[in-house]
Amino acid sequence: MSHLIALDAGTTGVTALLYDRNLQPVRRAYREFQQHFPQPGHVEHAAGDICTAVDESMVELLQGFDGPIVGLGITNQRETVFPLQRSSGRALARGIVWQDRRTKDHCERLGREGLLPTIREKTGLLLDPYFSATKMHWLLQNVPEAKSAAIKGDLIFATVDTLVVQHLVGGAYWVTEATNACRTMLFHLDRQVFDGDLCDLFGIPQDCLPEVLPSVGPFGVAKLPGSRKVPIFGMAGDQQAALFGQGCWEAGDLKTTYGTGCFMLMNTGVNRVDPEGALLTTLALDRAGQACFALEGSVFAGGLILQWLRDGLGILEKASDSEALAGSVSDSGGVTLVPAFAGLGAPHWDPDARAALMGMTRGTGRGHIARAALEAIALQCTDVIDLLRTETGQVVRALKVDGGASRNDLLMQLQANLAGVQVLRAVDVESTGRGAAALAGLGAGLWKEIGEVAAFQTESSGFTPKVDSDQTRALKQQWNQALERVKTR
């Protein structure tokens, strides 16, 4: 039986997955890599750490496996960008991660100059440090070796997909695809090319950007452990890959991925929808793996909160312990956590907001804090669902969910209760990897129609809202009051 590999280069680690031709998972390997926080608001990754995690996860995945592999798909954290030497691939500095806030002032200055309407019309995005363009500008201004390489025509700005492909293929080979390119704030959504005027606006030489290829199709041949050579046939940003892996191929289909952050995407098909408020217009993929449009609500802190409970506060041994600890109490005891560790994303877009833990008393225990953490994840996503309802007029009754934190039954029930939706959890919660493998399978010609694949015909587990209107209203009021205390705009 033919097999497919999915490589998911996420924010905190790299996951390698082996699937059979029915997109059933066969093997999995995972490696975390180091997070760098050189000063408050700064988040960085080392390109070499990600490449090492790719190599180690692949070695583990393929150890003792000699079956046929017909294609590899790549998916990745978006917006993070690295300055690399084009000729050699050598990193000239650590990469700036999507969570990083250092370019806040640059974004605000562009906003004061009245440039937001133009940027939004072309890119579908808002002016926020989240996106790649101001990160690239900062690197040119603050890394002398990057500036020198740009002058010589020897600089490439690589998002994580570009970095991983080059690492696997080798040589001066620099490519990306549209769902990643559209998150740079340099990509014209309608023409689907890097826009020269935007590059000039942000001071980015166009020859520093990779070539944009279709999301399905040849991306080169990966050199894998054991002298294997496997063609790379599919690639997409993590949220678009998850949307595809959830089978959300038609207009109106909606999913949320509970990863490091929480990202809600609604497929809008061939119609570009431009909301007036805090949602983003972005690209997604239809059932053939071709570009279409979507709306996105980006929440910056999801599973990140549980990692903080584990690593920062030390009240969890592992993130999955959060369900039992939060379930040990009936409510949060008046405690609210606003997890603005990297500012607030949708619907607030406030990069200056900072996290706060409020409402504690002498009786507050670990269980209350864990419960408040799960409530914070669900409340943030509820705010985005409410915004989606308001801005699109859509009646949202069901939400497909995936990602590591979606395994938490208590969180999923809280989400159903607070948002008033049926929550449908994928059988395989690693839908991001499944989406990448599905794109690779399309590129390899394994199927004529993606809907035929057995993995897309399995039923999801559901969580039905159990609404106590008074309790829900009180919790939302407590949440909104806490938000107002941390927001700066």
Average pLDDT over residues 370-393: 90
Q: Tell me the average pLDDT of the chain.
A: 91
Tell me, what's the pLDDT at 293?
A: 94
CA 100 to chain CA mean position, Å: 14
How does residue 459 score in pLDDT terms, banded at 50, 70 and 90? low
> Higher pLDDT residue, 395 or 191?
191
Report residue 273 CA to chain centroid gap: 21
CA distance 184 to 347: 20
Lowest mean pLDDT among 20-34, 84-98, 252-266: 252-266
pLDDT for 26? 93
What percentage of the chain has pLDDT greater than the value 70? Answer: 99
Point out the least confidently predicted range of 147-151, 414-418, 428-432: 428-432
CATH 3.30.420.40 residue ranges of the chain are 3-235, 247-425+459-489
Tell me which residue of 226, 163, 164 sits closest to 7, measured CA to CA. 164
Mean pLDDT, rounded, for 56-68: 93
Alpha carbons 221 and 21: distance in angstroms, whole number: 20
In tens, the pLDDT along 186-231 reads 999 999 999 999 999 999 999 999 999 999 989 999 999 888 899 9
* Residue-wise pLDDT tens digits, 422-451: 899 888 788 899 999 999 999 999 988 888
Helix axes 144-151, 132-142, angle to 10 degrees: 100
- Per-residue pLDDT tens for 246-281? 888 888 888 999 988 898 998 988 989 888 778 899
| Cα gap 366→344, rounded to integer Å | 25
Q: What tokens does 484 get? A: 């107002």
8 A C-beta contact, residue 152 and residue 190: no
DSSP 135-148: HHHHHHHH-HHHHH
Q: Which residue has the higher pLDDT, 155 or 389?
A: 155
Q: 314-328: per-residue pLDDT in tens?
A: 988 888 888 899 999
Question: Looking at the domain covering 247-425+459-489, what would its CATH class be?
Answer: alpha beta
Residue with the bigger pLDDT between 174 and 248: it is 174
Dihedrals φ, ψ of 210, to 5°?
-75, 170
Q: Concatenate the DSSP letters of all residues of 104-127 into one string.
A: HHHHHHHHHTT-HHHHHHHHS--S
What are phi and psi for residue 328, nearest 5 degrees?
-75, -10
Per CATH, the number for 3-235 is 3.30.420.40
Which of 294, 176, 174, 187 is CA-nearest to residue 235?
A: 176
Q: What is the pLDDT of residue 57?
A: 95
Greatest mean pLDDT among 76-85, 308-317, 337-346 lies in 76-85
pLDDT in tens, 343-363: 888 888 888 899 999 999 999
Distance in angstroms (rounded) separating the CA atoms of residues 64 and 174 = 32
Question: Which residue, 423, 429, 415, 413, is CA-closest to 327?
Answer: 413
Question: pLDDT at position 351, please?
Answer: 83
User: Is the model's pLDDT at 391 over the cut of 90?
Assistant: no
